[in-house]
Amino acid sequence: MNSDIAEVLFSREEINQKVQELAQKIDHEYGDKEIVTIGILRGAIFFMADILRAFKVKLVMDVMSVSSYGEKDITSSGQVKILNDIMINIKDRDVLIIEDIIDTGLTLYHVKRHLLDRGANSVKICTLLDKPSNRKFKVGSDYNGFIIPNEFVVGYGLGYDNRYRNLDYIGILKPEIYQN
């Protein structure tokens, strides 16, 4: 374990099992329908790669780069910026957003509205982590992996100052790392 991690919340094995469970639910719901999957970079990259490989449903994929945090911020700025928009035409198509974590809900609230404004038939959300105690916007996940406490977590794509993303588990970052 990395010495900056206070506690491991979910091991690689627990994450793998949850990814398989979520993929099965989504496969069952969509059946033979083709969906457009949109991963939210950077944090969802590992989750997206793993869940897309687990899907049996027909899909096309794209990514968006969206931010409401600065490099060393642990709280949202309150401003959502689309840094890189999707390239696929989603008009009249079913869209599944793949996200690492729902915290305040701000980012997903704006992304979902943006995709509906672009003509998506439906927009659902699949997130690995949900931190409901910090929610400020009414947005929920249609497919949710784990509910987590109000702690700052890293690993499996989630980072702080662009570090810790490569950890193969999800852990709580020691406060002294981000409070300096």
Report CA-CA distances (Å) from 21 to 28, 50, 98, 135: 11, 12, 15, 25
Give the DSSP letter of residue 84: E
* Active-site annotation holder among 85, 103, 130, 161: 103
What is the C-alpha separation between 156 and 159, in angstroms, rounded? 8
Known catalytic residue: 103? yes
Shortest CA distance to 105 belongs to which of 76, 84, 85, 147? 76
Q: So what's the pLDDT on residue 81? A: 85
Residue ranges for the chain with pLDDT beneath 50: none
**Which secondary structure element, helix H or strand E, spans residue 34, and what is its range?**
none
- Ordered by where they begin, the domains of the chain are 11-149 (3.40.50.2020)
- Sheet containing 170-173: which strands, arranged edge to edge? 5-10, 170-173, 153-154
Q: So what's the pLDDT on residue 28? A: 97
